[in-house]
Structure 1
Amino acid sequence: MSEPDTLRQRLTEPSLIAAVVTWLAVLAMTVIEPGRQVGAWDPETTRTMAVAAAVGFMLLMASQTAAGKLWPARTHLLLVLAQAALALLVAAMSRSGSGPILLIIVMSELVTRTQARTLWWIFGVVNLGLFLIHWQNWGLSSAVIAGFSYAGFQLFAIIITRYASRSESTSMALREVNAHLLATRSLLAESARDQERLRIARELHDVAGHKLTALKLQLRSLARRPELAHDEAVQMSGQLADELLNDMRAVVQQMREQDGMDLRAAIEELVAPFPRPRAIIEIAEDARVDTVAKADAIVRAVQEALTNAARHGDAQTLWITLKRIDDRIEVDIRDDGRAVSAGKAGNGLQGMHERFREVGGDVSVRHDLARGFQIHAWVPMT
């Protein structure tokens, strides 16, 4: 899918729709109600300032929605703090009393990408500012009641958003574990099938082949007898024995050419539980590995790319390509998301490097803001 598809999905999220509806209600009340007399500013001027602040609030929220996870966490934090300042400005300038409602949206935005300690500091400072605004406008008792009320609403939004975020993370983790178990089961089944193919090929070659060769020799011995030299049944039996032996050798050769583990089923099992990104899998017929360790290294690389695309890269499509080049299997994986900075290698990337080195291969990882997250790896055929 393209970038417009990704943006369309973000624009249709229920939480964003609820935030927009809330903002529209606040904007309507800010436009209808007169502003406050603040110093030399008359109510009309303060109402204009409140409306401008509300519009600025929405512009900042829209810019973050459009950017998705492209901006770093610090930039996200600064923009949300600017939204909080604009919400306080609406509360200070408008008589509608709707400005503090925007702070509920602010706290919901902070939860997902802000550390808990920073979140609670911001929560305290913002509500202190709101309390001072109410104290100046309505007196101490009203400020205390309103302060606790709006703080409670914000806490409710923080808790609900945090639980929703944790639930989503848990669901993602369960999908990853389930996908890995399914892929491992598929690898074990493919390994068992591969071993069974080798056993059957050996049995055909060593046992059936030996007996067919002995049968041919016996038929030739019979054909040399004068009384059977021109017997059609003996000649036909000899011809059929020759054809059967040749056919059996061809079957054995074909089974040996298919030696190795086919990874398509395991990779398909791995990507199936994830609704996003959509996986495009291209695996050459001769792209087979001879050990479970090599197969596991490749499958884990796909899993790492899939996890990155689903959790961090905001990707819609993941391309997975396996092909044989000379005496090794080449693996290329890339997505169309926005790759985050590599930084220090995490446990997943470090483990991936270790697995490929253990089987005599190698892997390289590239983060490109324009081309997404990319993995190139290879393992030897034998």
Structure 2
Amino acid sequence: MTPVCPGAAPATVAAGHRSHLPEVTFCIAAIAVGGCGGQHRRMTTLLRDLLKPLNLAGVFTIAAVALSFGQDLAPHGLWRWATVIGFTALFLFRALLPPRPLPQHAALLLQALLAVALIWLEPRTGTSPVLLVLVAAQAAMRWPPPQVLALMLVLNAAMYAVFVLAGVPRPFLMVAIYTSFQAFAALTANYARSAERARDALVYVNADLLATRALLADSARDAERLRLARELHDVAGHKLTAMRIHLRLLRAEPALAPREDLRMLEQLSGELLGDIRSVVQSLRDDAGLDLHTALHALAAPFPRPALRLQIDAQVRVSDPQVAEALVRLVQEALTNAARHGDADTVTVAVRCDAGALCVDIQDDGRCAEQIHEGNGIAGMRERLAALSGQLDLRRAAHGGLHLTARLPA
């Protein structure tokens, strides 16, 4: 069966034979994100990102390097301060702004150039090469190991050349010491990156399993209800009908016609048959699959973004393929909002419109002006196209991602 959309029914909070579940929370009112609220949220997000332990450690490291210069206001010293300030600005740029590849890579390369420039300006302090440790750690968090190794070879070769030209004693030993620090930072960052990816993958798989289990359990309950309805109709219903026929035949006998107990038995059998038919009809009434439980189970493992769900009462989804497509669509939206949009909330609205099932998804994150569709979005387009549906996505007015899907009812 496909989704049923009776147009006459008023739009209310979700109903159905499972709407009493206590763990389900519904959002009735539409959520409007104003300019002031959006700006406050962005400031809160930036502050939260700045206070992350790794970012604080990086800022303190840069501050320690800057303190080693003292209060030198000579032209040479001003160049050093300008270089440190530029490095700090680029470090904060990479830490606080959305992880878009091109700006992030450019900022990292500029940091590397400024670090080498600072070593050239002050090769004998011994603190300037510490900035290359920060560069190595940042590169290992974003780049594959071969690219990190190539960058470190180039930077350390440049540092060695500066030490030789400046007459630093034992330049090879100095470069070897700083290279070991860089290697330790890069390996630690790479392991942290791998662990983070493995954790995220486990979270996504766990959420997927929870949502699938909810749909399967719901489908199994519906199948059991239909089986009971068929059994009652085919077994008890037929036998009661046969019993009523025999009772009527007995009452047709002249000798048994006056008996009141036969008349009472025929009446009771008729009432019982009517009750069984009512039970069978109620068991066959299709309230659809429980999308609320499945979608909330999907979002439960994610600390953020939070899921706000609104499903109109007239929405009935009985086709498992349609339900799975909806779950996968919401899953992809949650993944994009968490990984790329840095969103706090994802709002999902499911309704019936002009004989079609409409799914509207918005997040309050930060979306690029030019949306790049990855493999996840492409897979969703293919999944919806197989069901004669369509998917549209665009940048919302408040800066987040806005997805709209339609499936024919």
TM-score (norm 1): 0.81
How many residues are treated as equivalent by the alignment?
364
| Contact 1:288 1:329 survives alignment (8 Å) | no
Aligned to 1:113: 142
Match of 1:134 in 2: 163
* Corresponding residue of 2:42: 3
| 2:360 is the counterpart of 1:347 | no
Q: Pairwise mapping of residues 234-253 of structure 1 onto structure 2 (< 5 A)?
A: 238=267, 251-253=279-281
Corresponding residue for 2:5?
A: none
Q: How does 1:146-161 map to 2 (within 5 A)?
A: 146-161=174-189
Query: 1:320, 1:255 → 2: CA distance?
Result: 30
Q: Aligned partners of 2:239 and 2:394: how far apart in 1?
A: 57
Which secondary structure state, in structure 1, belongs to the residue aligned with residue 341 of structure 2?
coil
How big is the shift at 1:101?
Answer: 0.8
Query: Equivalents in 1 of 2:44, 2:227: separation in Å?
Result: 50
Q: 1:116 to 1:300 in 2, by over 3 A?
A: same
CA pair 77-227 structure 1, distance change in 2 beyond 3 A:
closer
- Mark the CA change 1:267 to 1:51 in structure 2 (over 3 Å): closer, same or farther: same
Query: Match of 1:270?
Result: 298
Shift of 1:314: 1.8
Q: Identity of paired residues, percent?
A: 37
Amino acid at match of 2:153: G
Q: Which residue of 2 aligns with 1:22?
A: 61
Q: 2-side partners of 1:206 and 1:286: how far apart?
A: 31
The equivalent of 2:25 in structure 1 is: none
| Residue number in structure 1 paired with 2:21 | none
Which letter does structure 2 place at the counterpart of 1:78?
A: A
CA deviations 1:90-117 (Å, max 9, x no partner) are: 3233453211111211222223334555
What amino acid sits opposite 1:336 in the alignment?
D
- Of residues 123-132 and 202-211 in structure 1, the stretch that sits farther from structure 2 once superposed is 202-211
Q: CA RMSD in A?
A: 3.3
- CA distance in structure 2 between the partners assigned to 1:366 and 1:250 by the alignment: 49
Q: Does 1:88 align with 2:127?
A: no
Which of 56, 59, 72 is the aligned partner of 2:89? 59
Kept in 2, the 8 Å contact 1:335–1:374? The answer is: yes
Q: Match for 1:30: what amino acid? A: F
Normalising by the residue count of structure 2, what TM-score does the alignment of the two structures yield? Answer: 0.76
Structure 2 segments unaligned to the other structure (5+ residues): 1-37
Of stretches 59-68 and 265-274 in structure 1, the one that deviates more from structure 2 is: 59-68
User: For the structure 1 residues 360 and 315, does the alpha-carbon distance in structure 2 shift closer, same or farther, using more than 3 Å as the test?
Assistant: same
Q: Give the Cα separation in 2 of the matches to 1:186 and 1:15.
A: 38
Tell me by how many angstroms 1:172 deviates: 0.9
Once residues 212 and 81 of structure 2 are traced to their aligned partners in structure 1, the CA distance between those partners, rounded to angstroms, is 58
Cα distance, 1:100–1:368 mapped onto 2, change above 3 Å: farther
SS of the residue 1:4 aligns to: helix
- How far 1:244 sits from its partner (Å)? 6.1
1:338 and 1:369 in contact (8 A); partners too: no
Shift of 1:18: 0.8
Greater shift in the superposed pair: 144-153 or 125-134: 125-134
Q: For the Cα contact (< 8 Å) 2:98–2:340, is it kept in 1? A: no
Tell which deviates more after alignment, 117-126 or 152-161: 117-126
One-letter code aligned to 1:51: W
